[in-house]
Amino acid sequence: MRHLIDPLDFSVEEIDALLDLAGEIERNREKYSHLCDGRTLATLFYEPSTRTRLSFEAAMLNLGGRVLGFASADSSSAAKGESISDTIRVVSCYADICAIRHPKEGAPKVASQFSGIPVINAGDGGHQHPTQTLTDLLTIRSLKGRLGDLTIGLCGDLKFGRTVHSLIKSLSRYQGIRFALISPDELRLPDYIRKEVLDREGIPYEEVSDLEDVMGKLDILYMTRVQRERFFNEEDYVRLKDCYILTSKKMAAAKPDMAVLHPLPRVNEIATEVDSDPRAAYFKQAQYGVYVRMALIATLLNLAGREPEC
């Protein structure tokens, strides 16, 4: 039985197979619409996250399966002091696969060790959010046709943003990747990523504090939200949050086929005027998030290779 806890749990070959399946699903939605008939997904969200939860639920429903679960810890047995290892053993009686969102780092990992069903980490604190990374990879590959030979700009909060860290680690496994790291000094990529991933693997990168310095080189611009809850004081947040706002004016300097991604929700780091730019890909990204979760569920339930009945 496989789980997905860390974005690197899957090899490059497994990722490629998963993305192939997601693409196949995109092209033949109808064909896969009964693949999970009679199967149940449990969404155990100890921390609210509407977007991620609904994306998982849409994925399972699109496959013909059904969904049960909870949307916040208030309404869970956690309030009665139950451990996640007990909860997952019980939920294993109710469902065939589950997605867990938890404020504590490592909770989905612990759950997977006691689970009778595949566990998907749907975000554990500031730690990992592997299905966001899969979504990002699928979006890039679908838009650019490849995952290698790309210059990727990462802009905003590179210190606390877990999606950025995971994306760097995952893309570093492909050939010909170059990064442009765009952030204020206070929110630079931490050493343990810069040194232990980029330097060690010999991945070319540059660090700049001004988006305009690198705009013209980028194939992908990955914008991130400056999250209020990651800051230690309100003043720093207010001073920095508006520094890295993408506007149409800045977009004018970009390549005609650059794609703008964002894990969403955005607050104001992308001006709404950019939404109508054909290079704005962040809403398409939400759609790819459903396809990749469909592929993931099918894969973890060992239904991926099965010929779907039409």
Which is the catalytic residue, given 40, 43, 52, 299? 52
List beta partners, residue 206.
180
How far apart (Å, rounded) are the C-alpha atoms in residues 129 and 9? 12
User: Cα–Cα distance between 87 and 90 in angstroms, integer?
Assistant: 5
82 touches a second copy (CB under 8 A): yes
Q: Which of 8, 76, 236, 279 binds a second copy (CB under 8 A)?
A: 76
Site of tokens 């390549």:
255
Count the residues of the shown chain that bind a second copy, applying the rule CB under 8 A.
50
* Helix 50-62 × helix 130-144 angle, to 10°: 70
Q: Taking the complex as a whole, how short is the minimal distance between the CB of residue 49 and a second copy, in angstroms?
A: 8
The answer to whether 11 touches 137, Cβ cutoff 8 Å, is no
The verdict on whether 51 is a catalytic residue reads yes
104 among known catalytic residues: no
Give the DSSP letter string of 147-190: SSSEEEEEES-TTT-HHHHHHHHHHTTSTTEEEEEE--GGGPPP
Q: CA–CA separation, 194 vs 140, rounded Å?
A: 22
Q: Does 278 bind a second copy (CB under 8 A)?
A: no
Q: Would you call 129 a catalytic residue per the annotation?
A: yes
Residue 104 CB, nearest approach to a second copy (Å)? 18
The site map against a second copy for 280-299 (x = CB under 8 A) is ---x--xx-xx---------
- Can residue 12 be called a binding residue for a second copy (CB under 8 A)? no
Pick out the residues of the known binding site: 51-52, 80, 101, 129, 132, 162, 225, 264-265
Active site residues: 51-52, 80, 101, 129
Residues belonging to the binding site for carbamoyl phosphate are 51-52, 101, 129, 132, 264-265
